[in-house]
Chains A and B, each alone.
Chain A
Amino acid sequence: MNFSFLRDANFQDRIAIGVLLFIGLSATIPGFVSVPNAGSIIENVGLIGLVGTGIMLTMVVGQLDLAVASVAAVSAIIALTLAGVSIALGIVVALAVAGVYGSLVGYIIDRTGVNSLVLTVCMLIGLRGLALMMTPDRPAILPFEMFWISDALVAQWGPFTLLGVICLVIIGIVGLAMRQTRLGLSMYAVGGNVERARGSGISTTRVYMAAFAGSAVLGAIAGILAALRSGSASGLGFENFLLAGITVAVVGGVPLEGGRGTVINVLLGALIIRLIASAVALGGIPGSFESIAVGGILLAMLLLDYGLGRRRQAATAGSKVASSPIQTQQ
C-alpha cells in the first residue's frame, strides 16, 4: 500500500479544515456527536462522494460532465420501474444504459472536439426530459415487497450503514484503478498534456470514453442507491447532485485544468460539505443557508486555487502552462 498521499499538501489542508470544522461544530451544536448522526454523515459522504468521484474522472482528463444529475434521475427511474420484474435486472439495465450513454458522449467529444461543458448541458436538458417522460403521472416506486432493501441499506452497524459501505468500497475501487491501471494513468497523462499524451501513443478516444462512462455510471449508482433508500424516484429528483458533485470535487482539490485529483481528497471534500449540511439540519438554521454555504465554499475554493495557481505560475515563470478546453483564455 502506498501512503504517499499523506505528504500531499492538498490532503493535509483538507484534513485540517475537516478536523477544525468537526471540533467547532461538536462544541456548538448539541447532538452533533452521536452515532446516528455519524451514520447519516458517512452515508451522505458516500453518496455525494460517488457523484464527485465521477465528476473528478472527467476533470482529470481536462473536461467536465454537467449531466450527472439527469443521468442519476434516468438510471434510478429505469431501475425502480424494472424492479417489478427483477431488481437485479433493473440495476444492470440502468447501469448499462448509463455506461453506453457515457461512452457515446466521450466518443463524440473526442471525435468532434466539441466543448464538453456545453455538450453535457444539452444532455442535462434532454435527459431531464427523458426522466419526466418516464414518470408522466407519478414517481417510479419500489414495489412494496422490496422495501426490505431500503431497510437493509440504512440499517446501522455502529456509525456505518450498508449504503455508506457500498459507496465507500466503490470509490476505493475507482481510486485504486486510477493509480494502478494503464487506463487510469493514461487519464492523468491526457489531462496533463493532450499533445504529449497522444505523442506517446495514448488513445484519447479510449480515455475520454472511459472518463465519461465512469462519470455516468458513478452518477447512476448514486441515483439508484438514493432511490432505493427512499423507495421512489421522481422525474425532477436528484437536481442537487450537480452542484454538490462539482463542489465536492473542487473542494477536494481537483483542478479544473485537469491532470490531477485523487479520490481521497474528493472524499475529504465530501466530508467537509456534509459536516456543514448536517450542522445546518441539526442546528435549526433555515435550509436556504445550505445553498449559501455550498455556493460560498465553492467560490472560495475556486479563488483559493486561482491564487495558488498564480503563485505557482509566478514561481515557474516562462514555462508555458498546458491549455485545456475548459480553461478559458485570460
Chain B
Amino acid sequence: MADSKADNPLSLGQGGADEKSAERKWLRDLAPFIPIVALGVLAALTIDGFGTAPNLIAIVQASAITGIAAIGVAAITICGKFVSLSIEQQAVTSAYVFAALYSAGTPVALAMLAALLVSALLGLIQGYLVSRGLNPIVTTLAFGSALFGAVVLLADNRTITLNPNPIAWLGGGTTFGVPNQAIIFLILVAIGSFLLSRTKIGRQLVLTGANPEAAELVGIPTKRIVMIAFVVAALAAAIVGILVVGQVSQAKSDMFRGLTIDVVAAVLVGGIAIQGGEGQLWRAGYGAIVLTMLSNVMLLLGVDAGARELLKGLLAGAVLIFMTILRSRGR
C-alpha cells in the first residue's frame, strides 16, 4: 500500500524470477503500447489524412518540444525524485537569456552557451536542495515561482523579438522534409538512451532510483547523481527554450504555458515507473508522441481543447494506476 517504495526492484534483475513474474514484466513492458496502437489503427481507418506521411511528420514535429523536455525530466524520475514542476520556468529563463544576449550583440553560439550554462546552474541548485532530502515536487514548485517572478521582473515583462532571427533554420527549418526540431529530438533520445544504458553514470542513476540505501552502500555518490539528473533536466529545458525562440523569433513570459503539465503527462503515459529505478528514457519521448497523436486525432475530429486536456489527465492517471497495480501484484 503506502509503503510501495519500500520494495526492491533490484531483485527483478537477479534471475531466478519465476515464470509468472516474467509474464507480468512482459505485460508491464507492453502495456503502454496498447493505447497508441489502438489509437493509431482506429485513426488510420476512420480519419481521412491521418495516416499520410506529412501528418505523421507533423505529429513528430509537434511532439518534439514536449518530448525533449520530457526525456530530461525522465532522468529525475528514474533516479527516484518523481518530476520537476519548474520546467516551464526554466525554459522561459533560457529563452530570455538567449534572446536578450543575442539582441545585445552577443554572437549566437555564445548566447546559446550562456543560456545552457545559466539553466544548468539553476538545475544544479534545485538538484542540490533535493539531494539533501527536500521534497522534489514542492521544492521545484517553489523554485519555479521565484524564478519566473525574477525573470519577468528583470525583463520588465517585455517581449524580446529577434530581427533577424539567426536560428530560424534550427527552430522551424527542415532537412530532407523532416523538421529539424524532430531530428534534434530523435538524436537526443538516442544519446540519452545510450548514456543511460551503456555508461557508468547511467547505471548509477538507475540504481539510485531503485534503492538509494543500497546504492549508497555500494559506493555510488547518490547525492551527486541526483544533482546530475536535475542538471540534465535543466539542460533539456534550455534546449527547448532556444529551439522555440528559433521557431517563433520571440521570447515571451507566457510562451511555455502548460509545458510542465504536458511533460509530466508524457513521462507518465510513456510508462516510466514513477517510483524510479526502472524505465528507459525513450519512453518519455514516446509518451510525448502518444499525447500529441491523441491531440491531433481529436483536433481532426473537432473535439475542443478542454476535452483534450481532460482525456490527457485521465489517460495519465489510468496508466499510473495500472502500472502501480501491476507492480504490487508482481511482487
Contacts and interface: CB of A to CB of B under 8 A. Distances in A.
A289 B154 CA distance: 10
Interface stretch (A37-45, A85-93, A117-125): A117-125
A124 B149 contact: no
B212 interface: yes
Interface core residue of B149, B153, B305 (most chain A CB under 10 Å): B149
Contact of B3 (A108, A298, A323): A323
A325 B143 contact: no
A260 interface: no
Contact of A118 (B132, B274, B305, B307): B274
B23 interface: no
B291 to A, nearest CB: 10
Interface core residue of B141, B147, B148, B268 (most chain A CB under 10 Å): B141
A246 B274 contact: no
A195 B1 CA distance: 10
B312 A129 contact: yes
A323 B6 CA distance: 9
A326 B135 CA distance: 7
Given A292-B150, A329-B80, A130 B324 contact: no
Contact of B1 (A110, A289, A302): A110
Contact of A66 (B137, B157, B312, B316): B137
Q: Is the interface of A mostly helix, strand, loop or mixed?
A: helix
B146 A295 contact: yes
Contacts of A187: none
Given A110-B1, A125-B261, A130 B138 contact: no
Contacts of B132: 306, 330
B81 A122 contact: no
A190 to B, nearest CB: 9
A302 B129 CA distance: 10
Interface stretch (A17-25, A131-139, A218-226): A131-139
B139 interface: yes
B59 interface: no
Nearest to B318: A122
A113 B146 contact: no
Q: Which 9 A-B pairs have the closest CB atoms?
A: A126-B313, A129-B309, A132-B306, A295-B146, A295-B145, A133-B306, A129-B310, A291-B149, A125-B313
Interface of B: 1-6, 80-83, 129-139, 141-150, 152-153, 157, 212-213, 222, 261, 264-265, 268, 274-275, 304-314, 316-317, 320-321, 324-325, 328
16 contacts: A64-B138, A112-B324, A114-B320, A122-B268, A123-B317, A125-B316, A129-B307, A132-B305, A132-B306, A133-B306, A242-B141, A288-B149, A294-B146, A295-B146, A295-B147, A328-B135
